Amino acid sequence: MNTDLDIVIRTVVGESRGEPFEDKKAVTHVIYNRFKTKYRRRTSLSSVCLDPMQFSCWNVNDPNEKVIRNIDILHKDYLECTRAVIEAIQDNIKGVDPTKGSRHYHTKAVAPKWSKGQIPIYEVDDHVFYNTVK
């Protein structure tokens, strides 16, 4: 397929598969917030997701990369992420964003250099979200 929506859904599958539904929605908010603010000059949802080194699930050596490229659109993870993406975008359009405009996140298992000195604005399950990173 590889439409904007399909790429966003695959990104959410790769970044939050196995996490709670609210986590999937929060990851979508980050994607949408990057699109809305033209972060790194990206002007489409798919270009936000495929921006090199931004969403690890698209990195060639990441184990999730094969999963998201090959997942069937009728797979339960794809379908649940589809619902999360649609709900998050609808929420964001209505001005509802629990991440408060976050454009960055990471799992609690890592501490990226860019997160040093940053204060998380939102946490859900294993993900931490930030809206102050430049």
Q: Tell whether 79 is covered by a domain.
A: yes
Is residue 31 in a domain?
yes
Look over the chain and give the mean of its residue pLDDT values, rounded to a whole number: 96
The total domain count for the chain is 1
Between CA 97 and CA 117 the distance in angstroms is: 23
Q: Is residue 121 part of a domain?
A: no
pLDDT confidence of 2, banded at 50, 70, 90?
confident
Q: Is residue 21 classed as helix, strand or coil in its secondary structure?
A: helix
Q: How many CB atoms lie within 10 A of CB 5?
A: 15
The pLDDT score that the predictor gives to residue 80 is 98
- Per the structure, the complete domain to which residue 34 belongs is given by 4-96
- The residue length of the chain stands at 134
CATH code, domain carrying 67: 1.10.10.2520
Asked if 7 and 69 touch (Cβ cutoff 8 Å), the reply is: no
Examine residue 92 and state whether it is found in any structural domain, yes or no: yes
> For residue 57, is it within any domain?
yes
What is the reported pLDDT for 1? 58
Q: What is the pTM of this model?
A: 0.95
Judge whether 37 lies within some domain.
Answer: yes
